[in-house]
A and B are shown apart, each in its own frame.
Chain A
């Protein structure tokens, strides 16, 4: 393989988590409508940000997190900076607890993700209350976060394989 192709491949690998996050945002803006809208779309970017912030923050630079969040704000039509703040805060909290999570069983990491999802929800809810000047119903948010937490094991496994076999190795 030529030097240039090798570099390109390396860049592509480095950008994979960011691209996954952006695809997650696009999915959040797609009319998926599982069971006629009763099942919410999971917040895949949160999974992506959480996973790579723990296992390899070099693959998930803060700038990428910021861009993912900003794109989500632009596409969902919410106030600009909201999701960027939520994802960056998640990254900040996760990275400060990184040494605890590294090398732990997946169950523990799942619990950690649950905590991260709860704190992200609280932050989201508080900011939206402040922005709208009213106490907002939380049901939709809770349902969506539960869906996100429930699919973590599946995505965690897939991301682990991807990270180990494709991004780091070879």
Chain B
């Protein structure tokens, strides 16, 4: 059996690796870690992250193309074998959805009648931006994605990202052509939510597990929820629009209420970034908008009118 490294002749002929440099760089890493602990939002780090996403986005797009092609083929082979089951499930789902559609049409008619009656002002429409997932952190602790839309397509930090089923996460870093989505399962993720029908408002906290927990609720008392109830974004704090579907209640334990998410980030290929502007209902909101000179005037006019 041949083994390597028995002769010292290898390499470039000079000692490129000194222990001194190694230790120096280790110290540098520790310092970086400590400083990012205390100033995670520092502009230098933020710039570095955004620059890295931007620079890497063409390479990532190049890599993710063939990968998703192969995944597609594997997926279609899998689909081929359970096509009958899927067909049956889809027929059932379709029948159910038809009923829902009838009900929705009925409700739409009623809402239209009410809107006609009241002095009603429609909330601003969300401006969704479609984007492909080109990157995903395959890391044990960091749960994020990189999508191929950035500042050039009006993406901003804090905007909600949904797949076809529900909320995936929100934008945290925005480059000019790509941005990072922090998934709901990341340990840094904190999303204000409410439980439909249970009168519970709380914060959905990611913990790297598949089911994040509602850890903090608005009331001090123990809250009662029933598994299966829907969890939606509450819109508190004014970053995410209200009532985006998040998931359903899975179970309740001492740590909090586990939520089974609707969105499946291992299946999503394409996502939608929701560029939502809150209606200016208070002075603080109007003042925020006034910072942007173009939209500010419109906004105040709306508030006064």
Contacts and interface: CB of A to CB of B under 8 A. Distances in A.
B36 A136 contact: no
Contacts of B6: 102-103
Interface stretch (B14-22, B116-124, B217-225, B234-242): B14-22
A160 B134 CA distance: 32
5 contacts: A58-B16, A78-B137, A85-B29, A106-B1, A128-B141
Given A57-B11, A66-B25, 11 more contacts: A26-B59, A29-B138, A30-B135, A40-B140, A56-B10, A74-B53, A81-B29, A81-B36, A92-B26, A95-B22, A164-B2
Contact of B71 (A33, A144, A168): A33
Interface stretch (B62-70, B104-112, B153-161): B62-70
Nearest to B68: A31
A131 B142 contact: no
A62 B25 contact: yes
Contact of A88 (B1, B3, B26, B172): B26
B139 interface: yes
B141 A141 contact: yes
B3 A62 contact: no
B272 interface: no
A164 to B, nearest CB: 6
Interface residues of B, number: 67
Contacts of A104: 3
Interface of A: 10, 14, 26-33, 36-37, 40-41, 54-63, 65-66, 69, 71, 74-82, 84-85, 88-89, 91-92, 95, 102-106, 124, 127-128, 130-132, 134, 136-137, 140-141, 144, 160, 163-164, 168
B56 interface: yes
Contacts of B5: 54-56, 102-103
A29 B53 CA distance: 10
B26 A85 contact: yes
A55 B5 CA distance: 5
A164 B180 CA distance: 40
Contacts of B15: 58
B interface: dominant SS: mixed
A31 B136 contact: yes
A148 to B, nearest CB: 11
A31 B64 contact: yes
A32 B139 CA distance: 12
Nearest to A144: B140
Interface of B: 1-6, 10-12, 14-19, 21-23, 25-26, 28-33, 36-37, 40, 45, 48-49, 52-53, 56, 59-60, 63-64, 67-68, 71, 133-142, 144-146, 172-173, 180, 182, 187-188, 207-209, 265-267
Contacts, number: 193
Given A29-B56, A61-B16, A71-B52, A76 B137 contact: yes
Contact of A140 (B31, B68, B140, B266): B140
Contact of B29 (A57, A69, A144): A69
Contacts of B49: 74, 77
A42 to B, nearest CB: 9
A30 B64 contact: yes
A95 B84 CA distance: 57
A76 B26 contact: no
A124 B267 CA distance: 28
A131 B267 CA distance: 30
Given A29-B137, A32-B67, A76 B142 contact: yes
A79 B68 contact: no
B25 A77 contact: no
A134 B250 CA distance: 22
Contact of B172 (A31, A54, A74, A77): A77
